[in-house]
Amino acid sequence: MEKYKEFFQTDRFAMNAGVELLKVEAGYAQARMLVTKEHLNAGGVCQGGALFTLADLAFAAVANSHGQLTLSVNANINFIRSVKEGYVYAEAQEMVNHHRLPFIEVCLKDEAGELVAIMTSSGYRKDKKLF
Amino acid sequence: MEKYKEFFQTDRFAMNAGVELLKVEAGYAQARMLVTKEHLNAGGVCQGGALFTLADLAFAAVANSHGQLTLSVNANINFIRSVKEGYVYAEAQEMVNHHRLPFIEVCLKDEAGELVAIMTSSGYRKDKKLF
Amino acid sequence: MEKYKEFFQTDRFAMNAGVELLKVEAGYAQARMLVTKEHLNAGGVCQGGALFTLADLAFAAVANSHGQLTLSVNANINFIRSVKEGYVYAEAQEMVNHHRLPFIEVCLKDEAGELVAIMTSSGYRKDKKLF
Amino acid sequence: MEKYKEFFQTDRFAMNAGVELLKVEAGYAQARMLVTKEHLNAGGVCQGGALFTLADLAFAAVANSHGQLTLSVNANINFIRSVKEGYVYAEAQEMVNHHRLPFIEVCLKDEAGELVAIMTSSGYRKDKKLF
């Protein structure tokens, strides 16, 4: 767990966006991001790219949680509710732990537990070990 | 055009990520982002969320290019080639100019003109005018 | 429930494919399809379009389960395990019951309970009542 | 070309749906399907699964057009215009000819040339040759 946290702390873009990795287990991860004025888009709500960045870090934590380097091939995100401030929590679950093509779902919720976005994403496992 | 540029310059998250809107016409937009060390993920390549942010701004420029406020409902992104530095260019085209549910495709290319990612995204037009 | 079953029995394409609607409640539905030689593709496994048809009927049952006419705008399907024969079961759940843009997830499983495919789909609710 | 046509004529589900493969080149394919009463859903328009089946065959023709067996991992389809009768034409283009993870876009149009649906799909190339 600690080595995963250290590894993902080198994700400069996610760290700049304020993403914090809270938990990593085999096939499961939690992360969160505090939405501030720096995350808002021209419409005054949290930018889709900020939510995607949070979801992507949680995806990457799960995808790599078996120790094998895994990239994102494809991601599909549905925006359900807009957020203006406060924490957004990401919970990522590996639906399919395939040796080549894992499939992961990430739910984003606000502080009240309401669904903000759902992302599903396919990964591609390389032959290389993560550590 | 100028009022669109001004409007999207209030997108704090995209501006913080270095996204520049280059062109907006009815149904078409161009944007770019200079990938620096601040955009990299733990694997040392441009984070998916950074690419998504660039694509999302280009989507928003096209989706709103008819003057009616339009939100993103759903986005699907395929990551094709990783980028470590230099400009990534986004070209967004409205495939369907529907009064409620427009559909937009965004191609991201690197400086050599090679495809980096493709995003397709469905919008939802509100009754509200943009300006 | 009975009127929904009757309504969807007029879906000629799904009926020709052997899809049976098993259950409809507000926000939830079950369906199944018996995979035979008539469902196979050139690779000898159940065609993606056949699985999609099953998932789409389950989506439609849930999307319309509140009595308001709802269309499919976008669907994203991940193919996880191939099937050659036997029943495939679909379980569809409304993740978001939005008055305009509901969001539904459909899980397809084989007779052993193993995941075959996952579809997520956004609907668009019209002002028209279903019955 | 002829061997591809023969190969895909063994796709029972697509043939039962009336799909015809018109052309296959490296990275490109065309197909069509005549929409009849047998293709309609409960709303009286061509079922999403029928359109998906047409798009999937065109995808498969392109994905396999380099002679290496390729499966569909993920497909994203946007439904743009409903069709009640007449031919729907599919044009499939390989956007990325990757040795493992090709990416293909399929446009479906009606007889008037209007866009009916767009599908984007990621494939996975196996080590096995097609013929």
Q: What is the pLDDT of residues A62-85, one digit of tens each?
A: 999 999 999 999 999 999 999 999
Give the closest-approach CA distance of A80 to chain B in angstroms. 7
pLDDT of residue D33: 98
Tell me the two tokens of residue C83. Answer: 């099937």
Of the candidates D96, D115, D122, which has its C-beta nearest B115's C-beta?
D96
For residues D57 and C42, what is the distance between their CA atoms, to the nearest angstrom? 10
State how far the Cα of D80 lies from the Cα of C74, in Å rounded to an integer: 9
CA pair distance D90, D20, nearest whole angstrom: 10
The lowest-confidence range among A115-119, D36-40, D97-101 is D97-101
Q: Is the pLDDT of residue C1 over 80?
A: no
Any CB–CB contact under 8 A between A80 and chain C? yes
- Report CB contact under 8 Å: A100, D73: no
Q: Does A95 touch chain C (CB under 8 A)?
A: yes
pLDDT at A130: 86
**Cβ contacts from B onto C, under 8 A:** 16
- Chain D residue numbers touching C62 (CB-CB < 8 A): none
- The two structure tokens encoding residue D48: 């999403």
Phi, psi of B16 (to 5 degrees): -60, -30
State the CB neighbour count (10 A cutoff) for residue C68. Answer: 17
| Strands laid side by side in the C115-129 sheet | C19-25, C28-35, C86-96, C103-109, C115-129, C68-79, D68-79, D115-129, D103-109, D86-96, D28-35, D19-25
Task: Evaluate whether C101 touches C124 at the Cβ level (below 8 Å).
Answer: yes
The verdict on C10 touching A (C-beta cutoff 8 Å) is no
Range in A117-131, C15-29, D51-65 the model is least confident about: A117-131
Going by pLDDT thresholds of 50, 70 and 90, the confidence category of residue C130 is: confident
Q: What is the pLDDT of residue D27?
A: 97
Centre a 10 Å sphere on the Cβ of residue D67 and count the other Cβ atoms it contains. Answer: 12
ipTM: 0.97
Q: For chain B, which residues score pLDDT lower than 70?
A: none
User: Closest residue of C to A98, CA-based?
Assistant: C80
Instruction: Tell me which residue of D114, D64, D117, D108 sits closest to D88, measured CA to CA.
Output: D108
> Residue B102's pLDDT is what?
95
Nearest alpha-carbon partner for C104 in C67, C53, C60 = C60
Return the SS3 of A40: strand
Neighbours of D, requiring at least 3 CB pairs below 8 Å, are A, B, C
Question: Residues 6 or more apart from C16 whose CB is under 8 A from it?
Answer: D16, D38
Residue B113 contacts by C-beta under 8 Å, 6 or more apart in sequence?
none
Token pair 């569809």 is found at: C92
Residues 6 or more apart whose CB falls under 8 angstroms from that of B36 comprise B18, B85
pLDDT above 90: residue D1 = no
CA distances from D4 to A3, A91, A92 (A): 50, 44, 41
DSSP characters for D45-101?
SB-HHHHHHHHHHHHHHHHTTTSEEEEEEEEEEEE-S---SEEEEEEEEEEE--SS-
Laid out side by side, the sheet with A103-109 consists of: A19-25, A28-35, A86-96, A103-109, A115-129, A68-79, B68-79, B115-129, B103-109, B86-96, B28-35, B19-25
Query: How far apart, in Å, are the Cα atoms of A55 and each of A31, A76, A100, B52, C22?
Result: 8, 11, 21, 12, 35
Instruction: Give pLDDT tens digits for C5-44.
Output: 899 999 999 999 999 999 999 999 999 999 999 999 999 9
Query: What are the pLDDT digits (tens) for D26-42?
Result: 999 999 999 999 999 99
What pLDDT, in 10s, does the model give residues C105-128?
A: 999 999 999 999 999 999 999 999
pLDDT of the residue at C109: 98
Which pLDDT does position B114 carry in this prediction?
Answer: 95
Q: Which of C115, C74, C18, C57 is nearest to A97 (CA)?
A: C115
Rg (CA), chain D: 14
Mutate to test the interface with A, among D71, D96, D98, D101 (most CBs of A within 10 A): D101
pLDDT digits (tens, 9 = 90+) for C52-78: 999 999 999 999 999 999 999 999 999
C61: three-class secondary structure by DSSP:
helix
Contacts of C70 in chain B (CB under 8 A): none
Give the pLDDT band of residue D131 (cuts 50, 70, 90). Answer: confident
What would the mean pLDDT of D91-105 be, rounded to a whole number?
94
What's the pLDDT at D42? 95
Q: How high is the pLDDT of residue A104?
A: 97
Sign of CA dihedral C58, C62, C65, C70: negative
D2-129: which CATH architecture?
Roll (3.10)
> Per the confidence metrics, is the pTM higher than 0.90?
yes
Instruction: Tell me the average pLDDT across A40-64.
Output: 97
3-state secondary structure of B100: coil
Q: Nearest to residue B25, comparing CAs of B49, B51, B1, B60?
A: B1
Which residue of chain A has the CA closest to D126? A100
**Residue B124, by phi and psi: left (phi above 0), alpha (psi -120 to 50) or beta?**
beta
Assigned token pair, D39: 């293709």
D103 touches chain B (CB under 8 A): yes
**Domain range list for chain A:** 2-129
**Is B122 in Cβ contact with D118 (below 8 Å)?**
no
Q: Considering chain A, what is the average pLDDT of its residues?
A: 95
What subunits make at least 3 CB pairs under 8 angstroms with C?
A, B, D
